[in-house]
Amino acid sequence: MAGFEEVRVCQRASCGQRYVHRFARDLHMRMYCSDACKAGAYRDRKREERETYRRWQEDQQRQQRERERQEQRERQRRARSGPGGSRAGGGTKATTEAEARAVIYEAAGLMDDGTTTLRKAFLAAARRWHPDTNGSAEAKAKFQQVEQAVALLRRMGVTV
Ligand SMILES: [Zn+2]
């Protein structure tokens, strides 16, 4: 019965063991030395996908923070460059649902692209800007802006 057996290498990257593949008994598709490796390879793949997604998210957040810093610098520059440029209170106050959402996501450093719920964005923004934990000069105003945005959304019947 020679030829019905073949030595193969387990396709799970962290295993790489050789195993005997028997054509008569095993499916030709079989690529792993054991069921444990087959399940393990599936888990490895899922973990890799999660890692990739996490890195992508971190990247998005980093870019968002960079944009915020740039906007902040731009606002400061405009405020310094004389009257007409700045509004009372120094911050923009949301008046529409879209503006309120934008305030919350921006404060959280997140994208409003469906990957993070409004509630999670609000919690992230609150954690980031709460004056108890954030000692920066702008924290109080920023936190207030977020609270006002949430209050507005709730008045509009939006669940936050
Ligand atoms: Zn294996």
How many A from CA of 16 to the centre of ligand 1? 6
Q: What CATH architecture applies to the domain 94-160?
A: Orthogonal Bundle (1.10)
Rounded Cα gap, residues 75 and 84, in angstroms = 12
Where do the structural domains in the chain lie, given as residue ranges?
94-160
Rounded Cα gap, residues 101 and 98, in angstroms = 5
How many A from CA of 10 to the centre of ligand 1? 5
Quick one: pLDDT at residue 26? 58
Helix (H) or strand (E) holding 57: helix 35-80
pLDDT digits (tens, 9 = 90+) for 12-55: 989 999 998 887 665 666 789 999 999 999 999 999 999 999 99
Rounded Cα gap, residues 157 and 160, in angstroms = 9
Up-side HSE of residue 3: CA atoms within 13 Å toward CB? 1
How many A from CA of 25 to the centre of ligand 1? 18
How many A from CA of 39 to the centre of ligand 1? 10
How many A from CA of 38 to the centre of ligand 1? 7
How many A from CA of 8 to the centre of ligand 1? 10
How many A from CA of 116 to the centre of ligand 1? 37
pTM of the model: 0.44
